[in-house]
Structure 1
Amino acid sequence: MELTLSVAALAAVLGFALLRPRRQAPVAVAAAAAVVGAGAVSWQDAVREVNELAPVVGFLAAVLVLARLCDDEGLFHAAGVLMARATSGGQTRFLASVFAIAATVTAVLSLDATVVLLTPVVLATARMLAVPARPHAYATAHLANTASLLLPVSNLTNLLAFSAAGLTFLKFTATMALPWLAAVIVEFVLLRWIFAKDLTVAPQRSAVDEPLDVPVFALVVVGLTLAGFAVTSALELSPAWSALAGAVVLAVRGLITRHTTMTKIVVALDVPFLAFVLCLGVVVAAVMTNGLESAMHRLIPDGQGLLALLAIAAIGAVLSNIVNNLPAVLVLLPLVSSAGPAAVLAVLIGVNIGPNLTYPGSLANLLWRDVVHRAGMSARFTEFARVGLCTAPLTLIAAVLGLWAVTRSG
């Protein structure tokens, strides 16, 4: 009975997240209340799950505000000017600049910033240059997932894995640098091949004359915030404190210069989504308690050898496309954490790269779909899946090989 209720609750939460995202928060709250009320998960376990997720959610809130304030300061507009200037070498240079900027934005300001703030800039730049937007739009979609491997703060899944792996901020980053670089390079080669015909269209050179206004203050704040992540990790504090400090500094400046308003800041917090994450954790805990944990134990291989890491990453990728990557990482991390950091990071590779296969793989995919649809670009499920099938498996293998090489040498 409890298992049936828990699975039904999870299906309802994910269904609304995928099909009716504006209603995902109240549905998640109702589902969490239902599994607790029915005894599928105890009140004490539900409170424990919320307490464990609270620092992660607090960090997410701070980063969402930080990214929005960077946009208000003109950081993403400056990125668009840089991308337009890169077209002097042809569309391949344009694509390379999109990759470089999207990978950096994803790693430092999280994948949501790439999807929600950078993608519209990329689409507008492609339209201004009169070139096909599809190669560059797919670059932001895929890098929002793939390029989020680098830092513990790049993705909500990373923060969860960071806690489970027991690594410092710098050790995590050093370990994931090679997998991140390998994945980004493979992604670039494959997308360039898939969209080779679109990339032959020559851009209009006359569209790249806009002056570059670099928001130095915002860049300095972001740099100091990033350094603060390493400091807070060394002091065993939550990285949320560093993100909060950066957001407060930019918020004060933005309010003084009238680049932003309190209303914009509150909206950027996205409180309903934060509630959704907390309640989703409670529902996943109920499913785990009532049978999924024992079933997954039989699938997860032991050890940290290459084949084991590939299998763990593949399971993470498949599960992400079945139940979304956030529930997938909540399910898998408790099962692999005892095997060591490499197994935890293999899960992370699976749940971060795997979502490039289908829209349900991550909430970022769905946000990206809405962004490009509003901009007038069609992105059918079949096309997204086709591009994903051509890129995700090889990218995942490249990242796991990089992880195995680093952990073996270390």
Structure 2
Amino acid sequence: MNPAARVQAAIDLLDAMIVAARASGASADRIAADWFRARRYVGSSDRRAIRNLAWDAMRACGDIPHNGRAALLQLARQDPALPALFDGSRYGPAPIGADEQAATGGVAPAWLLTTLAASGITADEQPALLTRAPLDIRANALRITRDELAVRLPVAAQPGPGPDTLRLPTGTPVESWPEFAAGLFEVQDAGSQLVCTAMNAMPGETVVDLCAGGGGKTLALAAMMANQGRLIACDVDRARLSHLPQRAARAGATVECRLLNGGREREGLRDLAGTVDAVLVDAPCSGTGTWRRNPEARWRLTPAVIDRYAAIQAHVLDLAAGLVRPGGRIGFITCSLLDAEGSDAVAAFLARNPRWRAEPPALEIGRAHGRGWRLTPGHDGTDGFFVASLRAP
């Protein structure tokens, strides 16, 4: 494909993503995967170029664009090479009209920027929420050390924050490497790895990952526990949890998987009540800390959506509290930078449970925030996270 055709393809792809974002439909990643699957004639270099254009255009637009062309026009204001590619050629986009309007630029919709600022993410730090993220991997301590893994990789990797982190350039095809197939590492943002260490999971303990999803943090816990003890991964999403057994087998991790019935979770956890050493609550949230990877997520948010996530977090924290033994602990994590889904949620839990106490974890990077700890892209070079450690009486 020539460069103009790539621009038109990015416009077409963005049109599908914008429709999905407005309707709370499939994610941009899913839309792109399906779009390229239906166009197998598009070569790998063209796919990469089209995807980069689409994601850069999403990052360039603060509000949801009217359509993909408006999004590319906004990107063209920032990239002087792009306007010439609107050339009207056979497979390229039509020339830019004299009065044609580009989408609105910016980091996010105005109301969301105000909410971020009120949560301590000031204007000078907000642009970093949309920078391209590096690729971080976690050496699987059940199979190999970080230094041993670094020697074996086909490209140079730099140690990142955390004991097992290696950092590689964005787009490195690590999942095609034999080292990945052998379970020597997992793809995981350095921030996600660090907030797992705040759990301080120990060999021999009983640990529950209450919102395990696909199991990225579950596998990190298994490595911390050296496969000694009992690790139970729970979720209400059958599709997401179904990926964990295969991932655990590849990593050599011993994990029990438990599918819970949404709204009736206590029934599925009754046998664990009051017996668990530690519960990880990697709570559902708005994902404001992951915009580097999912820039379209900011177009899907409303105040009502954030309120709904806050209510879910309160519910899951109360579930976790019923599982913990006396003196046990909860690790509360969100990949959100909004206080409503972080420090406020912890403060509300402590108000409901005044005998519990917060023990803010001091990670090697990040800053104290509220009754916990915060990592941000601008300050720490990781995805954004809030983490708190809560101790039962």
TM-score, normalised by the number of residues in structure 1: 0.31
Point out the structure with the larger helix share: 1
Name the larger-Rg structure.
2
Larger proportion of strand: 2
Higher relative contact order (CA 8 A, sep 6+): 1
